[in-house]
């Protein structure tokens, strides 16, 4: 990580905006630069700016928040810090800022803002306090604590890494070198060992909970199961036979009941047929009258047409006088409307000149009124402004007097607290001293706690050593006992095998079980053959019924086909009549053009006897055709349905034939399958293929299988017991090994605990001496502020610092108030002078405005008087609108009356024409109607009707006639279907009686079925319970063997993880981390020794072998004596700390590279020779691309470093920067 640019504003004494470019050639060439200036000038503020921009906190003040900001410059309202840095991932810019409310110096502090962005693209990576800190740590590999211990060594913290305890050094080394994975491995090993042990305990617990049956209990259960199976088979056969008999008996009763019901239905159908006979006769007469219906409809249409024409002629003749009167009235009204329109037009033309003159006067009046109102408003505003300025002048005079009194009071208070002025620049440095003393007290308290913990740990480890030794002795005794039991189980196992292997016995059992399945399969085939025989008989009966139904369906289909042919002929006749009628109607226009003596254009005849007669029209012909078509569609649908039914019956008959063929083939296949299975059983001779014969063979085989099963189960139990004993012996061996490791580990831990106790005592004594030295130094600095005693408790130190902070704040507030009051008094004087000038100007303008308003008011009054004399109070727009409305009304009335006159005249002419047309048409229709009536009477006589009245008496409405036809058809179909159904039921009843399955009544058969079913259910429940117990026993045996194997495997895993845990595992990751960090620390010490040898040959750093991260030094001037780094002098500590810092910067991993190093103070403890060596060493780092910044008061140091950033104090407690790349930015 390398710092490229520093940019900040208003931090401590560095007021204003400043920018430092560390890429300037001066820094690149020298590689080392100094930050110089007197005490309190603001040198350390540059390092504070870097820390603020990156982490939002500083080493001296900690985190800044809304409630506290001691780094913001006095009398300013905002500050910020920005750093551009480069790392392996790229170049980034961090920006931190905070301001007061309204960015005023007296405003309330606001919440700080923090963001980080890619300096090249400008993309924002994070914009909140926590997110920025996490991003900086991810990019640089360092949090704030590690940054200040390895890259920026601030005041009081230069030797922090050297003095840090081992547990605090480890995280720094992890981030610097990228070795944090060793902590993760150590924790993972600890967790894996615990998980493996928990899994082993769970397996052992589950094995003990399994329930295993003894050999006698298992044999007894199997025998009971066998007996129950035999009884169940017998009961199932009985239940099947009883159900067949009951089904046959119920079927007989059902058929007899159905025949009785069909006989009653036949009697009811005959009664309904007799009752329908009169309606049948009516239907036949109506069908005979239907042939005359078309002619009667045409005759009725002619009669209705003649009657309608006569009624219309009478009505129109009565309306004619009324229309003549309406025409006379409309003519008179039209003349009056024309006269009113002429008068309204003349009145409007006369008033137009006077209206134009009045409108001009009104426009002038409105303009003068607007001007007068605007000028009056301006006058009122000027009066109000004059009054406001007078009030403001008086208020400023009073305020100025009060400010002068406050100025005198503040001057007195400042003289009394003159000694607090130094706190403004020095309080930040005092804060670091207070923090160092508080930290020392906290470390001292922690050392005391560690000492007590070490005492307790020694006693605990001593007890553990004794406990583990006793456990080892007991485990040795258990393994000897386990070896004796294992030998006894192996002897018993060999005896039980009888010269065979367990696999031989299991193979023999498997073959026997396969034969058992063959017996079950044979019995299933034989039962299926019995079922097929019954189904074959049922299908044969069903096939005969379907053939009979198919013959009846074909006969009914032929009847429907004949009816369809008849109805189609009737429909064709009606269509032909309709076509002739349409031809007659199409010749109507040609017939009106015929004249006697002129030839006909169609036939050429010169005589036209029917030219004046209208053709006879049958209006009901269309409805007759529609009803005939509907009837035809119904018959066709019935015929189609009957053909579909016949096809379905034919298909069912074919399907039944196929099923019978399939059943025959299945019976042959069953015989072949049973024969093949019987040969596979290796029987001496084949038995009869019956269920009873094979059930007897199955029973004998089951007994043999049970004996063999008992033998195999006994062998498997012996094998499981032998395996269990072997595993117990292995467990005992493993337990002895574990106790041996635990005993050795406990002894080592006891030795380590004693060593830590000794080190804790030494560490506590060192901390107490350092605390006394820091406390004395702090008290010396506090004496100028009137503090001569110092309480070393943390609470007292915090209270004392708050008092100093309050005194500093009060001093700063009074300084700010004095300055603010002086500025306010000066500003008030200027405002009073400006107000006096404004008052004179406003008064002169006010007088001029009053005179102008009076002139405008007089002009407006003159215009009002002239308008009143010309037109009075009337409005010209209203008068003009009234005249125009009168003219429009007259015009509309004239147009309406003109339209009404035309309408009345047209109605009268139309009425006269229609009367003449109706008179001519009446004379033409009368002869034709008489001729059509005579023709219809002749057709009635031909059909057997005396006159028109007798025809109408038998004619039925269409819906009534169709209803009777449907009833007649339904009676016919119902009669046919009923006779067929009765015949089928009688044949089916005769076939069932021939079977004669039982002579018992239904109630007796039902009782037998219920008893057998109850017995079978109880027996099946018992079989289920026995099966569950036997299956559970077998599962438990298998599960026990599997779990014993899992326990052995898990014990091996536990042993492996325990051995690994003894080496590197720990819950906090310290064991492996400290070991790995010890190696890393040793490499870093080697780098530090390279730098240390350049500065001093007296000391060599070495790593403590007992504490991997503890550091000692070899003092060559004292015959190579090994010393602790805690008792080095100030100069020695600085040299060693500098060497360690340079060694850390040389340590680089894949994430971190330390290319910038900042050192704040510390060089004052070196003599001139040591100083020369240190500077020479730092200068050599330029060759490795590093940049070193040093803050110091040492005069020699400032003279020997050519590249410098000077912090020069200015008046008012402010400073400025001078040096390469330093720039003050003015906005």
Structure confidence at residue 79 (pLDDT): 93
pLDDT of residue 1148: 45
pLDDT exceeds cutoff 90 at 1007: no
Give domain status of residue 1184, yes or no.
Answer: no
pLDDT of amino acid 52: 92
Q: Which one has a higher pLDDT value, 136 or 957?
A: 136
In angstroms, the CA 432 to CA 611 distance is: 138
Q: Is the dihedral of CA 188, 191, 197, 198 positive or negative?
A: negative
- Count of residues making up the chain: 1227
* Residue ending a domain, choose from 1000, 1015, 1030: 1015
Closest CA to 1099 of 1118, 1084, 1082: 1118
pLDDT > 90? residue 115: yes
Q: Do residues 707 and 700 make contact, with C-beta atoms less than 8 angstroms apart?
A: no
Nearest to 228 by CA among 892, 1023, 891: 1023
pLDDT tens for each residue of 626-682: 777 788 787 777 777 777 777 777 777 777 787 888 888 887 787 777 777 777 766
User: The tokens 């006010």 sit on which residue?
Assistant: 846
Dist CA 212 CA 217 (whole Å): 10
Query: The tokens of 259 are what?
Result: 């025949």
What are the CA-CA distances from residue 1029 to residues 232, 513, 703, 707, 711 (Å)? 19, 20, 20, 19, 19
CB under 8 Å to 793, separation ≥6 — which residues? 441
**921 within domain boundaries:** no
At 722, give phi and psi (nearest 5°). -65, -45
Task: Say what the pLDDT of residue 53 is.
Answer: 93
Q: 114 and 15 share a domain?
A: yes
Residues 133 and 4 in one domain: yes
Q: What residues contact 1128, with CB distance under 8 A and at least 6 apart?
A: 1113, 1136
Q: How large is the C-alpha radius of gyration of the chain?
A: 64
Task: Identify whether residues 136 and 26 lie together within a single domain.
Answer: yes
| Phi, psi at 146, each rounded to 5° | -70, -35
Could you report how far apart the first and last alpha carbons of the chain are, in Å?
A: 31
Q: What pLDDT is recorded for position 179?
A: 64
- Write out the two tokens for 622: 């269309």
> Do 136 and 2 fall into the same domain?
yes
Q: Is residue 589 part of a domain?
A: no
How far from the centroid of its chain's Cα atoms is residue 46's Cα?
50
Give pLDDT, residue 5: 94
- Strands across the sheet containing 1099-1103: 1099-1103, 1111-1115, 1121-1124
Which of 988, 1015, 1042 is at the close of a domain? Answer: 1015
Alpha helix (H) ranges present in 68-214? 129-140, 144-150, 160-163, 166-177, 181-208
Q: How far apart are CA 725 and CA 493, in angstroms?
A: 12
**Position of tokens 């211990």?**
149
**Structure confidence by residue, pLDDT tens digits, 154-188:** 544 445 666 667 666 666 666 555 567 778 888 88
Quick one: pLDDT at residue 580?
67
CB atoms within 10 A of CB 332: 10
- Domain assignment of residue 1046, yes or no: no
Q: What is the model's pLDDT at position 156?
A: 47
Give the dihedral of Cα atoms 367, 370, 374, 375; nearest 10 deg: 50
Q: Is residue 616's pLDDT more than 70? A: no
Same domain, 136 and 271: no
Handedness of CA 846, 851, 854, 855 (dihedral sign): negative
Stretch 313-318: mean pLDDT:
82
1225 domain-assigned: yes
Q: Tens digits of per-residue pLDDT, 1205-1225? A: 988 888 877 899 999 999 998
Q: Are 128 and 33 members of one domain?
A: yes
> CA 116, CA 1168: separation in Å to the nearest integer?
43
Compute the distance between CA of residue 1158 and CA of residue 1138 in angstroms, rounded to an integer.
11
Work out the average pLDDT over 973-1001.
Answer: 80
For residue 114, give the H/E element and its range: strand 113-118
CB atoms within 10 A of CB 415: 8
CATH of the domain at 45: 3.40.50.300
C-alpha to C-alpha distance for 766 and 834, rounded to whole angstroms? 73
DSSP letter assigned to residue 67: S
Determine whether 1070 is exposed, middle or buried from the number of CB atoms within 10 Å of its CB (0-12, 13-18, 19+).
Answer: middle
Measured CA to CA, the distance from residue 820 to residue 125 in angstroms comes to: 42
Segment 584-601 shows an average pLDDT of 62
Q: How many domains does the chain have?
A: 2
Same-domain check for residues 12 and 104: yes
C-alpha pair distances (Å), 385 with each of 391, 840, 842, 1118: 10, 12, 8, 94
pLDDT of residue 80: 95
- Would you say the pTM of this structure is higher than 0.75? no
Whole domain around residue 261: which residue ranges? Answer: 215-286+966-1015
Q: Give the ranges where 498-612 is alpha helix by DSSP (H).
A: 502-586, 588-592
pLDDT at 610 over 60: no
pLDDT band at 520 (very low <50, low <70, confident <90, very high): confident
Going by pLDDT thresholds of 50, 70 and 90, the confidence category of residue 83 is very high
Read off the pLDDT band of 701 (50, 70, 90): confident
Q: Is 1214 among the domain residues?
A: yes
Q: What pLDDT does residue 270 have?
A: 83
Six-digit token string for 765: 């004594």
The highest-confidence range among 199-213, 257-271, 335-349, by mean pLDDT, is: 257-271
Per the domain annotation, does 229 fall within a domain? yes
Residue at which a domain ends, from 950, 980, 1015 = 1015
Say whether both 132 and 248 belong to one domain: no
Helix, strand and coil percent figures for the chain, each rounded to 5: 75, 10, 15
Segment 1045-1074 shows an average pLDDT of: 83
Q: Are residues 94 and 9 in the same domain?
A: yes
User: How confident is the model over 184-226, as pLDDT tens digits?
Assistant: 888 888 888 888 888 888 877 776 666 677 777 777 878 888 8
C-alpha to C-alpha distance for 1162 and 153, rounded to whole angstroms: 10
539-to-244, 251, 663 alpha-carbon distances in Å: 17, 16, 10
At 726 the pLDDT is: 76
Least confident of 558-567, 576-585, 706-715: 576-585
Please tell me the distance from the alpha carbon of residue 35 to that of residue 42, in angstroms, as a whole number. 10
CA distance 396 to 402: 10
Q: What are phi and psi of 225, to 5 degrees?
A: -65, -40
User: What pLDDT was estimated at residue 1149?
Assistant: 40
On average, the pLDDT of the chain sits at 78
17 with 133, same domain: the answer is yes
CB 1175 within 8 A of CB 1144: no
Let me know if residue 682 belongs to a domain.
no
Instruction: Express each pLDDT in 380-392 by its tens digit.
Output: 887 888 788 888 8
Highest mean pLDDT among 557-561, 975-979, 1108-1112, 1173-1177: 975-979
């Amino acid at each position: 990580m390398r710092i490229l640019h520093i940019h900040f504003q208003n931090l401590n004494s560095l007021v204003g905006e400043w920018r430092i470019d560390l890429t300037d050639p001066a820094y690149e060439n020298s590689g080392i630069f100094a930050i110089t200036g007197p005490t309190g000038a603001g040198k350390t503020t540059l390092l504070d700016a870097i820390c603020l921009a990156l982490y939002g906190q500083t080493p001296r003040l900690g985190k800044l928040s809304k409630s506290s900001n001691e780094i913001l410059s006095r009398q300013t309202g905002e500050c910020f810090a920005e750093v551009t840095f480069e790392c392996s991932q790229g170049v980034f810019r961090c920006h931190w800022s905070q301001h007061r409310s309204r960015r005023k110096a007296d405003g309330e502090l606001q919440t700080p803002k923090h963001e980080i962005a890619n300096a090249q693209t400008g993309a924002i990576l994070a914009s909140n306090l926590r997110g920025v800190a996490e991003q900086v740590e991810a990019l640089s590999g360092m949090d704030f604590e590690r940054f200040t211990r390895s890259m920026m060594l601030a005041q009081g913290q230069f030797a922090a890494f050297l003095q840090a305890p081992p547990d605090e050094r480890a995280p720094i080394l992890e981030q610097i070198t990228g070795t944090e994975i060793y902590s993760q491995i150590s924790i993972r090993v600890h967790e894996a060992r615990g998980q493996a042990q928990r899994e082993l305990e769970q397996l052992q617990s589950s094995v003990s909970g399994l329930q295993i049956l003894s050999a006698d209990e298992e044999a007894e259960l199997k025998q009971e199961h066998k007996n129950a199976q035999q009884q169940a088979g017998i009961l199932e056969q009985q239940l099947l036979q009883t159900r067949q008999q009951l089904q046959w008996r119920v079927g007989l009763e059902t058929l007899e009941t159905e025949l009785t019901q069909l006989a009653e239905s036949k009697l009811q159908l005959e009664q309904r047929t007799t009752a329908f006979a009169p309606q049948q006769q009516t239907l036949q007469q109506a069908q005979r009258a239907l042939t005359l219906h078309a002619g009667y409809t045409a005759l009725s249409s002619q009669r209705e047409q003649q009657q309608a024409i006569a009624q219309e002629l009478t009505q129109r003749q009565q309306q004619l006088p009324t229309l003549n009167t309406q025409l006379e009235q409309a003519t008179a009204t039209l003349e009056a409307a024309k006269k009113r329109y002429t008068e309204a037009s003349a009145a409007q033309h006369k008033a137009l000149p006077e209206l134009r003159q009045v409108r001009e006067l009104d426009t002038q009046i409105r303009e003068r009124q607007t001007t007068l109102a605007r000028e009056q408003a301006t006058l009122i505003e000027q009066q109000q402004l004059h009054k406001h300025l007078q009030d403001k002048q008086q208020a400023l005079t009073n305020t100025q007097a009060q400010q002068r009194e406050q100025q005198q009071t503040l001057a007195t208070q400042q003289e009394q607290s003159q000694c607090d002025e130094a706190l403004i620049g020095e309080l930040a440095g005092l804060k670091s001293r207070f923090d160092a003393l508080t930290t020392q007290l906290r470390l001292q308290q922690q050392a005391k706690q560690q000492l007590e913990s070490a005492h307790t740990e020694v006693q605990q480890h001593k007890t553990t050593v004794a406990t583990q030794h006793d456990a080892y002795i007991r485990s040795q005794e258990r393994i000897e006992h386990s070896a004796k039991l294992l030998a006894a189980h192996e002897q018993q196992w060999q005896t039980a095998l009888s010269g065979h292997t367990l696999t031989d016995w299991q193979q023999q059992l498997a073959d026997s079980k396969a034969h058992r399945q063959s017996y079950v399969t044979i019995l299933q085939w034989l039962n299926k053959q019995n079922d097929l025989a019954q189904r074959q008989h049922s299908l044969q009966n069903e096939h005969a019924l379907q053939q009979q139904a198919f013959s009846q369906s074909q006969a009914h289909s032929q009847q429907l086909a004949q009816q369809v042919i008849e109805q189609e002929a009737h429909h064709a006749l009606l269509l032909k009549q309709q076509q002739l009628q349409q031809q007659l109607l199409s010749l109507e226009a040609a017939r009106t053009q015929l004249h006697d003596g002129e030839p006909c254009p169609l036939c050429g005849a010169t005589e036209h006897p029917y030219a004046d007669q209208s053709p006879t029209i049958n209006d009901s012909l269309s409805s007759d055709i529609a009803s005939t078509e509907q009837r035809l569609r119904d018959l066709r649908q019935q015929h189609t349905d009957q053909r579909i039914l016949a096809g379905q019956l034919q298909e069912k008959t074919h399907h039944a034939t196929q099923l019978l063929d399939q059943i025959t083939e299945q019976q042959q296949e069953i015989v072949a399958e049973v024969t093949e299975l019987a040969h596979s059983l290796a029987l001496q001779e084949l038995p009869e293929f019956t269920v009873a014969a094979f059930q007897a063979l199955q029973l004998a085989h089951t007994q043999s299988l049970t004996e063999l099963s008992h033998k195999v189960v006994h062998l498997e139990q012996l094998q499981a017991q032998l395996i269990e004993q072997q595993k117990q012996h292995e467990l005992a061996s493993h337990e002895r090994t574990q106790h041996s490791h635990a005993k050795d580990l406990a002894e080592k831990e006891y030795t380590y605990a004693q060593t830590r106790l000794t080190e804790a005592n030494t560490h506590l004594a060192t901390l107490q001496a350092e605390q006394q030295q820091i406390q004395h130094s702090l008290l010396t600095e506090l004496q100028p502020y009137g503090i001569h005693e110092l309480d070393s408790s943390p609470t007292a130190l915090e209270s004392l610092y708050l008092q100093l902070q309050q005194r500093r704040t009060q001093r700063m507030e009074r300084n700010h108030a004095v300055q603010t009051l002086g500025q306010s008094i000066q500003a008030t004087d200027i405002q009073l002078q400006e107000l006096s000038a404004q008052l004179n100007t406003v008064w002169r303008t006010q007088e001029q405005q009053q005179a102008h308003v009076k002139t405008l008011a007089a002009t407006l009054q003159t215009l009002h008087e002239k308008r009143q004399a010309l037109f009075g109070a009337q409005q010209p727009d209203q008068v003009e609108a009234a005249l125009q409305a009168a003219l429009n009304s007259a015009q509309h009335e004239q147009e309406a009356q003109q339209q009404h006159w035309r309408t009345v005249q047209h109605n009268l002419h139309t009425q006269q024409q229609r009367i003449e047309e109706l008179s001519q048409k009446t004379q033409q229709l009368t002869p034709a109607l008489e001729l059509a009536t005579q023709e219809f009477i002749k057709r009635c006589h031909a059909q057997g009707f005396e006159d028109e009245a007798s025809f109408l008496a038998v004619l039925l409405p269409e819906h009534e006639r169709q209803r009777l036809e449907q009833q007649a058809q339904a009676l016919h179909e119902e009669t046919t279907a009923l006779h067929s159904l009765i015949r089928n039921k009688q044949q089916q009843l005769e076939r069932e009686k021939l079977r004669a399955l039982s002579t018992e009544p239904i109630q007796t058969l039902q009782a037998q079925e219920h008893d057998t079913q109850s017995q079978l259910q109880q027996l099946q429940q018992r079989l289920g319970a026995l099966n569950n117990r036997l299956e559970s026993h077998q599962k438990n045996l298998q599960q026990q063997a599997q779990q014993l194997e899992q326990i052995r495997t898990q014990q091996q895993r536990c042993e492996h993880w325990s051995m690994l845990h003894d080496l590197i595992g720990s819950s906090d990751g310290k064991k492996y981390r400290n070991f790995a960090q010890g190696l890393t620390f040793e490499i870093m010490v080697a780098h530090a020794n390279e730098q240390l040898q350049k500065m001093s040959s007296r000391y060599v750093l070495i790593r403590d072998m007992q504490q991997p991260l503890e550091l000692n030094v070899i003092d060559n001037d004292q015959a190579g004596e090994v010393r602790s780094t805690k008792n080095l002098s100030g100069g020695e500590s600085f040299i060693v700390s500098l060497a360690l810092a340079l060694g850390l910067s040389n340590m680089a991993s894949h994430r971190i590279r330390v290319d910038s190093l900042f050192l704040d103070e510390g060089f004052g403890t070196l003599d001139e020779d040591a100083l020369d060596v240190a500077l020479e060493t730092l200068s050599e780092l330029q060759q490795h691309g590093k940049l070193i910044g040093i803050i110091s008061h040492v005069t020699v140091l400032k003279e020997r470093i050519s590249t410098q950033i000077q912090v020069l104090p200015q008046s008012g407690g402010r400073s400025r920067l001078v040096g390469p790349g330093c720039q003050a930015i003015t906005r």
